[in-house]
Amino acid sequence: MSLGIFDDILWKYDGGFFVFHKTDNLIQVCNAPDGETCGVYIFTAMIDGEIDVIYIGCSGHIEGGKPIARVGGLKRRIYGKQNGVAREKYYNDVMDELKVSELKVYWFLTKDDDPEYVEYKLILRYITTRHKLPMYNNKLERKNDKTKIGE
C-alpha cells in the first residue's frame, strides 16, 4: 500500500515527510513547519515487505468557519504526546512491537479546510480500502458541530 489511495484527498495541500529512526530525536527530525499551523499527518511503516499506514492524525479544528491551530501547531502535535506518552517513546515502542527500524511520517497543511474533516476522510478511505482501521487508530469519529470547508 502507498499513500496513492489518498491522492485525490491530499493533492491540494502542501506537505512533506521525514523518516524517524529509533535513535533519532523526534523533535529534531520533524520537518513540519513551526508555528500555528493546521494539518494532518500519517505515520507509515514497512510491514511484511509492504508500506502500510499505521496512524492518521490531525492538528487543529474549525471554529466559526475558520481554522484554529493547536498551541504549537502541526509540528508540536506530531512530536507531542500519544495516549499520555511522549510520541518519541510511544513510537519507539511501536517500532519494537512491529519489529521495524524506522517510520516514515507524512504531513500536510490543510490551509482553510477543517483538518478534522480531512483526517476523517483519510481514515474512512483507509477503512474502505483495507477493511480495517489503521493499526494505531482506535476509532473513526466525525464531530457533528463542525463546518465542512473546501467541499
Pick from 62, 83, 88, 86: nearest CA to 144: 62
- Residue 144 in any domain: the answer is no
- Residue 141 in any domain: the answer is no
Domain that holds residue 54: 3-130
- Residue 79 in any domain: the answer is yes
Note whether 73 and 59 are within 8 A (CB): yes
Number of domains in the chain: 1
DSSP 22: T
- Residue 138 in any domain: the answer is no
Pairwise pLDDT comparison (122 vs 72), residue with the higher score: 122
What does the pLDDT look like over 51-110, one tens digit per residue?
A: 999 999 999 999 888 998 988 899 999 999 888 889 999 999 999 999 999 999 999 999
pTM for this predicted structure: 0.90
- Residue 14 in any domain: the answer is yes
- Residue 15 in any domain: the answer is yes
How many other CB atoms sit within 10 Å of the CB of residue 76?
20
The whole-number average pLDDT for the span 105-124 is 95
- Residue 102 in any domain: the answer is yes
